[in-house]
């Protein structure tokens, strides 16, 4: 799909270069032929003066010695002696041939350069389109799964003539579960698109406050698994979007609790290093294989262990949202993990916000 576009763009680049190069060559050709005509004229005049001088040797200083710009020379130049037109034509032809060769060489080199540059220009667009297509396919797949489950259950129920009220209640309960999943998915997608666009507002935010708000949301799950969430946040504050930070903590804490065994601990700590707030979220859960670590921040990516061993439901959008929030704060995230031992996420955010004039962010 992008090959014809690349060739078209190359043709446009070449056309522009050709127009510039040919116009420049015409100017050079006109200038050079005028200069050659002038030089040949001068040469012929000089030869004429020399000839006259040698023919009348004893008549004093006439014709006067050759002095550039002298009134006598100017007077003679009004009727300059003719130069050889064949020499002039030959020189003109040579200039023209040289310019044609220079242009051909230039256009050949430009052709390769234009093809290369067209590829570079189109690459980000190609990547974005590919991302968009993959995103649409993944989202459709995730949407189709609960819809298919609901449809099948309803069809089976409709075909059963002895369908009881209790069975109908059970069907509705099951459908409600699927609807909850769809709602969670659409909420995640909306949150992701919101944080990819930018942040609501920035202000001084205390980490303890953010942590407490996030823990409130995770508490029911943590209590159900008897997991302790411990913190050492040292009253640190930073310039950030508070809602975004609460979302960020919620995602990391939720994952830490989801992927940890019962009766374990999750540790959250923060320090300030060189004007950067460094936050760590550490758990002793199922861990992530090294081969899967580069992909966990991609949209819809779920590591094998989370699907098979822990059987935790999710859409693989949490870390993509977290990465968008971190990017919007000009921060960084790093992860270290050992399967069956645990995972540590390290998030580093600037303590003070610095305005950026240009920001180009790619979809994760
Ligand atoms: P999900 O909804 O599946 O949790 P996320 O985007 O939050 O989606 O995480 C992507 C994947 O990264 C998860 O499916 C899981 O495999 C892995 N992961 C994230 N956090 C942890 C963690 N603390 N321990 C183990 N695996 C994790």
Q: What is the pLDDT of residues 19-75, one digit of tens each?
A: 999 999 999 999 999 999 999 988 888 888 888 888 755 554 445 555 555 555 555
Q: Which helix (H) or strand (E) holds 270?
A: strand 265-273
* pLDDT tens readout for residues 287-342: 999 999 999 999 999 987 666 655 678 889 999 999 999 999 999 999 999 999 99
Mutate to test the pocket of ligand 1, among 225, 255, 342 (most ligand atoms within 8 A of CB): 255
For atom 23 of ligand 1, the residue with the nearest CA is: 256
**70 vs 11: CA distance, rounded Å:** 55
In angstroms, the Cα distances linking 47 to 60, 163, 293 are: 19, 121, 86
CA 10 to chain CA mean position, Å: 22
Per DSSP bridges, beta strands 228-232 and 265-273 are: parallel
The strand pairing partners of 349, in sequence order, are 277
Across the range 147-175, mean pLDDT stands at 93
pLDDT of 146 strictly over 50: yes
Average pLDDT of the residues of the chain: 88
**How many Å lie between the centroid of ligand 1 and the Cα of residue 230?**
20
- In 10 A of CB 245, how many CB atoms? 24
pLDDT at 170: 94
Side-chain half-sphere CA neighbours of 339 within 13 A? 12
When pLDDT is cut at 50, 70 and 90, the band that residue 358 belongs to is very low
Q: Annotate 176-216 with DSSP letters as a single string.
A: HHHHHHHHHHHHHHHHHHHHHH--S--EEEEHHHHHHHHHH
What span, in angstroms and rounded, lies between the C-alpha atoms of 256 and 284? 8
What's this model's pTM, rounded to 2 decimal places? 0.71
Binding pocket residue ranges, ligand 1, CB within 6 Å: 255-256, 259, 283, 285-288, 296, 301-303, 306, 314-320, 343
Residue 247 has a CB neighbour count (10 Å cut-off) of: 22
What integer pLDDT is reported at residue 61 of this predicted model?
47
Ligand 1: residue of 319, 339, 342 to mutate (most ligand atoms within 8 A of CB) is: 319
- Among 54-68, 86-100, 243-257, the least confident range: 54-68
Q: Whose CA is nearest to atom 2 of ligand 1?
A: 314
Please name the residue whose Cα sits nearest to atom 12 of ligand 1: 296
Q: Which residue has the higher pLDDT, 229 or 64?
A: 229
| 239 neighbors 353 (Cβ within 8 angstroms) | yes
Rounded to whole angstroms, what are the CA distances from 116 to 12, 181, 246, 263, 340? Answer: 13, 46, 45, 58, 47
């Amino acid at each position: 799909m992008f090959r014809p576009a690349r060739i078209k763009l190359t043709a446009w680049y070449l056309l522009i270069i050709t127009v510039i190069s040919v116009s420049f060559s015409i100017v050079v050709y006109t200038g050079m032929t005028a200069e050659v005509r002038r030089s040949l004229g001068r040469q012929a005049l000089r030869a004429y003066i020399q000839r006259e001088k040698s023919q009348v040797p004893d008549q004093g200083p006439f014709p006067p010695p050759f002095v550039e710009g002298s009134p006598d020379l100017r007077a003679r130049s009004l009727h300059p002696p003719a130069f050889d037109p064949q020499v002039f034509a030959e020189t003109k032809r040579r200039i023209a041939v040289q310019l044609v060769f220079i242009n051909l060489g230039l256009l050949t080199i430009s052709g390769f350069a234009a093809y290369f540059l067209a590829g570079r220009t189109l690459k980000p667009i190609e990547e974005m389109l590919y991302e968009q297509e993959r995103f649409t396919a993944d989202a459709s797949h995730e949407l189709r799964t609960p819809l298919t489950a609901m449809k099948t259950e309803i069809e089976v129920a409709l075909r059963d003539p002895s369908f009881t009220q209790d069975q109908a209640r059970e069907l509705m309960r099951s459908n409600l579960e699927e609807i909850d999943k769809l709602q969670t998915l659409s909420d995640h997608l909306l949150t992701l698109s919101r944080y990819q666009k930018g942040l609501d507002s920035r202000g001084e935010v205390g980490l303890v406050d953010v942590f407490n708000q996030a823990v409130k949301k995770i508490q029911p799950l943590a209590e159900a698994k008897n997991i302790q969430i411990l913190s050492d946040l040292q009253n640190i504050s930073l310039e950030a979007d508070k809602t975004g930070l609460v979302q960020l903590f919620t995602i990391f804490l939720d994952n830490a609790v989801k992927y940890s065994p019962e009766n374990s601990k999750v540790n959250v700590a923060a320090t300030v290093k060189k004007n950067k707030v460094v936050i760590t979220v550490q758990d002793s859960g199922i861990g992530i294989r090294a081969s899967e670590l580069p992909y966990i921040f991609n949209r819809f990516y779920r590591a094998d262990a989370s699907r098979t061993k822990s059987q935790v439901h999710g859409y693989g959008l949490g870390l993509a949202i977290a990465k968008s929030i971190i990017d919007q704060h000009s921060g960084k995230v790093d992860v270290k993990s050992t399967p069956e031992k645990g995972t540590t996420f390290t998030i580093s955010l600037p303590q003070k916000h610095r305005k950026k004039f240009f920001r180009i962010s790619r979809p994760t």
